[in-house]
Chains A and B, each alone.
Chain A
Amino acid sequence: MFQHDRLNNEITLFQKIKNLDYILLISVILLSVLSVFVMYSTDGGEILFHTKNHFVKLAVFFPLMIFVAFFNIKFWHNFSYIIYFIVILLLIYVSFFGLKSSGSQRWMDLYLFVLQPSELMKIAIIMCLAKYFHRIKIENVNSFTSITIVLSIIIIPIIFVIAQPDLGTSILIALSGLIILWLGGMKIKYFIYSFITFLISLPFIISFLKPYQKLRILTFLDPDRDPLGAGYQIIQSKIAIGSGGLNGKGFLKGTQSYLDFLPEKHTDFIFTLFSEEFGFIGSVGLLILYSIIIFRIIRIGAISRSNFARLFCFGYAFAIFIYIVVNLSMVLGLLPIVGSPLPIMSYGGSSMLATMIGFGIVLSAKINHKQMIA
């Protein structure tokens, strides 16, 4: 056992490169290249601000992913709690000194780029809980102490994120955390009970929502209520996607985005532009690409010897899945509008940074899949 550990620790660089998951890697590269082209289209077919920045971020964060991958999974296991606490500290920092923009305070200026710590929390919470469930005995999973601890791990960051306010990200963090609880073996009845409690307390929760958040829910229920105001985004988004048809309007020919009918086309609504220009075929193609990535991550989890790696991969695969589902459901008018980016495709440094670190840890798990962790 011990020997085995040491052996694994001494994997050469060549072996590390050889052990990378190339299907995952190629899929991520494909997605990145695609995202640059789509960004180029949002800039109206010119290499402008968004295209340039997006490309630069990819150029920095992609090597970062490889860099992260080359650390042993054990390293990430060891630092999981510390990373979680650092991100909590960052969240506390932004809640006092963060940059404000359009009514919320979520960013910190790092001179080179603006960091949104809540995005990092999406990864950190998975790492932290994965470590917790890796270490805890299965018999103790449903003990009062452990439930109190894991719920605290989830609730503390969420409090800060909701206070920013950022409902979308806090929901994603909560879901990422809850999935680890589920995978870790928490009793199903707890989930059912909490779900029922959630439903019952829903009216109470809604009364605590900010007016603009209530408006979003109302708009989701009936977008035509205020077609030029609150319902504008979702109506225009559906028009763009629907008018794409089977083959789409063609690259750089999306009239809805080109003529500025699409709001937030660089960030949350990037899929709308993609779908308008590449149609049903392109959209399904993109979903397949995402599915391959999710499937590869799950597979890496499944072959991992350590439960930390397994839990992280499964959790991260679910997180990627849930980002995609929330984003697509939003632009397709299936969910109310909550700010949530589409991984890699959307413009935004923090989201991409978090996603790439996540891929990096997954790749590290792949390279060290035989690694046992105490």
Chain B
Amino acid sequence: MIKSNSGIRKTDVINRRMFIIGAAKVVVFVGIVARLFSLQINENKKYLTLSDKNRIREWKLPPTRGNIVDYFGNVIAGNLKVYQLHIIPEQVENFNYLLVRLKNLLNLSEKRIARINKLKAELKPWDSIIVSENLSWSQFVKINNYLYDLVGVKPVMTISRNYPFDDVYTHVLGYVSQPNEQEILENEIIQERFVPGMKIGKLGLEKRLENHLIGTNAIQRYEVNAYGKRINQLEHQKGQQGSKIRLTVDTEIQKACGKLLNEKAGSISVMDIYTGDIIAMYSSPSYNPNLFLFGISQDEWQLIRNNPLKPLINKTLSGLYSPGSTIKPIVALSALENKVIDTKFKVKCTGKMELYGQTFHCWKEKGHGWVSLKNAMKQSCDTYFYEVARLLGVDRLNITAEKFGLGKKVLGDYFDTEKKGLFPNTKWKKNNLGKGWVLGETLITGIGQGYIQSTPLQLCMMTAQIANGGFAVKPKIIVDSNPISYEDAKQSMESGLLFDTDSEELLDKKLFKNQKNIKIIQEAMFASTNERFGTSYKSRIDDPKYQFAGKTGTAQVKRISKRERELDLELEQIPYKDRDHALYVAYGPYVNPRYALSIIVEHGGSGSKAAAPIAKKLFKLIIDRHDLRNKQSNFERITV
């Protein structure tokens, strides 16, 4: 117990060594403080950013599409509040019980239930499952009544595309639906703004104007936890609705077109002959685009797809028809312009014409006797036009026809389904069929049969350009940023120049060599409708306010055999597929004309019986709405 040297030495050793350790401790602590300093002070910004990146997540909401309105501002493609039903699985107490309850309340199919179960397995428990995208009001009320029993169910109000006029504008507007992967990848704007549940234009203007209509996403910023669950909302940034787009169309006339073509296959186009505004463009039968919004059912889709009247085809733009006798004004004009004939030129019609041993029949078996241009047009004498075409030749006819818009797309690139049709010439046949042109082919081209193919809109434009005195018109369906008034358009047109709003240049728009020739054609068309023995005389309107001029056409869909010609069957006795297409082109009012139209009734029989009466009904409405349309010109300009 005596304090030994050893004890003291030991204490010394311990103390000395403790001092070394103490110094080391200070160094290490300073090192840790330095590390803290570098993280918290020097790199603070970097880690703050990383921390925000961790905790803040953005949710994009589907953008609201811009409205499409008609000329008068009526919404024809708008947005509607829809009621949806969501399930949030983590809030559900008994999932199977809930599904049984919902199945009974909403009549959900087994397939739908299976899909919900699949989604439930795929999604995070706090992600909502959309049970129904579009609840009817009564279903919505029912759900709300039973909400106490449906834990975890959330009725949601959201916005969806809506076409208030159902099938009236389907072929113009198209429709929207959920995009597929390719569609998302093809369009950068869609790619950027895509969110599940968003719909894009699939067809028509909805597709063409996607980038204008789409709108911008609303953005919700949430604080999330490490598992991605939303904790609270930090910010809601409103999205901007897509641009509003105003069309040149008139819903009243468009609707009337639909009624007139009810249960028929065909098309009606109406155009302002000076401004080129398309007033109506209806393809029949149509279908309801609203069916596609929430996924069309297989049954409904098959019904549309298998309809023999082919509702999916936009006949106005993509339907190709032989123009039949509606081509005759162009044949006559071409002959006059090329000075092949004059108004006194006469042909004797015996009901048929022989050429190199081949017989070419006139529609009137007994023949028309001696006919001049006016009478030939009026009674649509085929023999006269065989002779004129023979004298004119197909190449000269082709030049005039193409000038008037045949064989070219009318609306340019607005509709990717638009067809350009065909107006043949000798060169075309050589290049495409590898054979020489035969004179007989010139004859049948002269009555609008054979290779010639045109769309209803082309015929409408052709008629408009005859009606306005022979000036080129630029058809359009969207009211552009700098619209030219009807008076200005007419004035500049009649000065022979047209102000082109796209290139901002004055262009020479004269399609004729001598305007007298146009006048002759106009008079002949007037006679066809308003004079006795005219093919559409029965459909005339005597009141000068509504009086119109037109030309009928009956396009054969197959060669008529000799036997059939002898039988002279009634329309009902011929199988539907073999019946002629009925056509009619017209413009009015005859004095100070303003509008041109073309009507096609597929397999409707003769133009005078099936197509011209439709024009009579339509013209009254078109002219009646003329003043309204004029007043509307000062309507706010909507840019695209």
Output the least CB separation between A293 and chain B (Å): 12
- The answer to whether B43 and A314 touch across the interface, beta carbons within 8 angstroms, is no
Binds B, one of A70-78, A156-164, A215-223, A324-332: A324-332
| Chain A interface, DSSP helix/strand/loop, else mixed | helix
Binds B, one of A95-103, A178-186, A363-371: A178-186
- The answer to whether A185 and B10 touch across the interface, beta carbons within 8 angstroms, is yes
B24-49 residues at the A interface, CB under 8 angstroms = 25, 28-29, 32-33, 35-37, 39-41, 43-44, 46-48
Decide if B13 is an interface residue (CB 8 Å cutoff): yes
User: A138-B13, A314-B18 are known contacts. Are A284 and B36 too (CB-CB below 8 A)?
Assistant: yes
Bound CA–CA A275/B18 (angstroms): 30
Output the least CB separation between B58 and chain A (Å): 16
- The answer to whether A242 and B17 touch across the interface, beta carbons within 8 angstroms, is no
- The answer to whether B40 and A241 touch across the interface, beta carbons within 8 angstroms, is yes
Decide if B515 is an interface residue (CB 8 Å cutoff): no
Decide if A121 is an interface residue (CB 8 Å cutoff): no
Decide if B22 is an interface residue (CB 8 Å cutoff): yes
Decide if A139 is an interface residue (CB 8 Å cutoff): yes
Output the least CB separation between A241 and chain B (Å): 5
Bound CA–CA A245/B51 (angstroms): 12
- The answer to whether B14 and A314 touch across the interface, beta carbons within 8 angstroms, is yes
Residue of B nearest to A374 (CB): B1
- The answer to whether B36 and A325 touch across the interface, beta carbons within 8 angstroms, is no
Decide if B139 is an interface residue (CB 8 Å cutoff): no
A302-356 residues at the B interface, CB under 8 angstroms = 302, 307, 310-311, 314, 318, 321, 325, 328-329, 332, 334
- The answer to whether B54 and A259 touch across the interface, beta carbons within 8 angstroms, is yes
Contacts of A182 in B (CB 8 A): 17, 21
Binds A, one of B224-232, B280-288, B380-388: B224-232
| CB 8 Å contact bits of A134-165 with B (1 = contact, 0 = none) | 00011100000000000000000000000000
- The answer to whether B55 and A261 touch across the interface, beta carbons within 8 angstroms, is yes
- The answer to whether A307 and B14 touch across the interface, beta carbons within 8 angstroms, is yes
- The answer to whether A298 and B22 touch across the interface, beta carbons within 8 angstroms, is yes
| CB 8 Å contact bits of A282-307 with B (1 = contact, 0 = none) | 01100100010010001001100001
- The answer to whether B36 and A184 touch across the interface, beta carbons within 8 angstroms, is no
Residue of A nearest to B37 (CB): A280
How many residues does chain B have at the interface if contact means C-beta atoms less than 8 Å apart? Answer: 39
Bound CA–CA A163/B32 (angstroms): 31
- The answer to whether B6 and A280 touch across the interface, beta carbons within 8 angstroms, is no
Select which of B36, B50, B231 is within 8 A of A283 by beta carbon.
Answer: B36
Contacts of A302 in B (CB 8 A): 15, 18
- The answer to whether B41 and A280 touch across the interface, beta carbons within 8 angstroms, is yes
Residue of B nearest to A279 (CB): B40
- The answer to whether A242 and B32 touch across the interface, beta carbons within 8 angstroms, is no
- The answer to whether B47 and A307 touch across the interface, beta carbons within 8 angstroms, is no
Decide if B11 is an interface residue (CB 8 Å cutoff): yes
Output the least CB separation between A288 and chain B (Å): 9
Select which of A2, A185, A259 is within 8 A of B13 by beta carbon.
Answer: A185
- The answer to whether A138 and B41 touch across the interface, beta carbons within 8 angstroms, is no
| CB 8 Å contact bits of B346-377 with A (1 = contact, 0 = none) | 00000000000000000000000000000000
User: A183-B18, A307-B11 are known contacts. Are A259 and B225 too (CB-CB below 8 A)?
Assistant: yes
| CB 8 Å contact bits of A228-251 with B (1 = contact, 0 = none) | 000000001011111111100000
- The answer to whether B35 and A334 touch across the interface, beta carbons within 8 angstroms, is yes
Bound CA–CA A140/B634 (angstroms): 113
Select which of A236, A245, A275 is within 8 A of B41 by beta carbon.
Answer: A245
- The answer to whether B18 and A242 touch across the interface, beta carbons within 8 angstroms, is no
Contacts of A287 in B (CB 8 A): 29, 32-33
Residue of A nearest to B28 (CB): A325
How many residues does chain A have at the interface if contact means C-beta atoms less than 8 Å apart? Answer: 50
Output the least CB separation between B201 and chain A (Å): 39
Contacts of B9 in A (CB 8 A): 138
Bound CA–CA A246/B47 (angstroms): 13
Select which of B10, B36, B46, B54 is within 8 A of A275 by beta carbon.
Answer: B36
- The answer to whether B29 and A291 touch across the interface, beta carbons within 8 angstroms, is yes
Bound CA–CA A280/B40 (angstroms): 6
- The answer to whether A332 and B29 touch across the interface, beta carbons within 8 angstroms, is no
User: A242-B43, A314-B21 are known contacts. Are A280 and B36 too (CB-CB below 8 A)?
Assistant: yes
- The answer to whether A185 and B17 touch across the interface, beta carbons within 8 angstroms, is yes
Bound CA–CA A298/B24 (angstroms): 14
Q: Which of A183, A242, A245, A259 has the most CB of B within 10 A?
A: A242
Bound CA–CA A239/B1 (angstroms): 59
- The answer to whether A245 and B10 touch across the interface, beta carbons within 8 angstroms, is no
Decide if B252 is an interface residue (CB 8 Å cutoff): no
Decide if B166 is an interface residue (CB 8 Å cutoff): no
Q: Which of B33, B223, B227 has the most CB of A within 10 A?
A: B33
Decide if A1 is an interface residue (CB 8 Å cutoff): yes
Decide if B7 is an interface residue (CB 8 Å cutoff): yes
User: A261-B55, A307-B7, A329-B32 are known contacts. Are A185 and B47 too (CB-CB below 8 A)?
Assistant: no
- The answer to whether B224 and A259 touch across the interface, beta carbons within 8 angstroms, is yes
Decide if A255 is an interface residue (CB 8 Å cutoff): yes
Bound CA–CA A311/B7 (angstroms): 13
Residue of A nearest to B18 (CB): A314
Contacts of B6 in A (CB 8 A): 137-139
B226-242 residues at the A interface, CB under 8 angstroms = 226-227, 231
Bound CA–CA A98/B339 (angstroms): 116
Output the least CB separation between B639 and chain A (Å): 45
User: A259-B225, A374-B1 are known contacts. Are A244 and B14 too (CB-CB below 8 A)?
Assistant: no
Decide if A170 is an interface residue (CB 8 Å cutoff): no
- The answer to whether B33 and A284 touch across the interface, beta carbons within 8 angstroms, is yes
| CB 8 Å contact bits of B267-300 with A (1 = contact, 0 = none) | 0000000000000000000000000000000000
Contacts of B48 in A (CB 8 A): 242-243, 245
Contacts of A298 in B (CB 8 A): 18, 22
B66-117 residues at the A interface, CB under 8 angstroms = none
Output the least CB separation between A137 and chain B (Å): 5
Decide if A260 is an interface residue (CB 8 Å cutoff): yes
Output the least CB separation between B121 and chain A (Å): 22
User: A280-B41, A301-B18 are known contacts. Are A332 and B50 too (CB-CB below 8 A)?
Assistant: no
User: A185-B14, A260-B226, A261-B55 are known contacts. Are A241 and B36 too (CB-CB below 8 A)?
Assistant: yes
Contacts of A244 in B (CB 8 A): 40, 44
Contacts of B1 in A (CB 8 A): 1-2, 372, 374
- The answer to whether A261 and B44 touch across the interface, beta carbons within 8 angstroms, is no
User: A242-B43, A242-B44, A259-B231 are known contacts. Are A332 and B36 too (CB-CB below 8 A)?
Assistant: yes
Contacts of B7 in A (CB 8 A): 307
- The answer to whether B55 and A259 touch across the interface, beta carbons within 8 angstroms, is yes
Bound CA–CA A138/B39 (angstroms): 46
- The answer to whether A241 and B10 touch across the interface, beta carbons within 8 angstroms, is no
- The answer to whether A241 and B17 touch across the interface, beta carbons within 8 angstroms, is no
- The answer to whether B225 and A184 touch across the interface, beta carbons within 8 angstroms, is no
Output the least CB separation between B106 and chain A (Å): 37
B173-215 residues at the A interface, CB under 8 angstroms = none
7 sampled A-B residue pairs with Cβ under 8 A:
A139-B6, A183-B17, A245-B48, A283-B36, A321-B28, A328-B32, A332-B36
Inter-chain pairs besides A139-B6, A261-B225, A294-B25, 11 sampled, C-beta below 8 Å: A242-B44, A243-B47, A244-B44, A261-B226, A275-B40, A284-B36, A301-B18, A302-B18, A332-B36, A334-B35, A374-B1
A residues adjacent to B (C-beta < 8 A): 1-2, 133, 137-139, 179, 182-185, 236, 238-246, 255-256, 259-261, 275, 279-280, 283-284, 287, 291, 294, 298, 301-302, 307, 310-311, 314, 318, 321, 325, 328-329, 332, 334, 372, 374
Query: Which 9 residue pairs across A and B have the least CB separation, nearest first?
Result: A242-B47, A243-B51, A260-B226, A259-B225, A280-B40, A185-B13, A243-B47, A245-B44, A242-B39
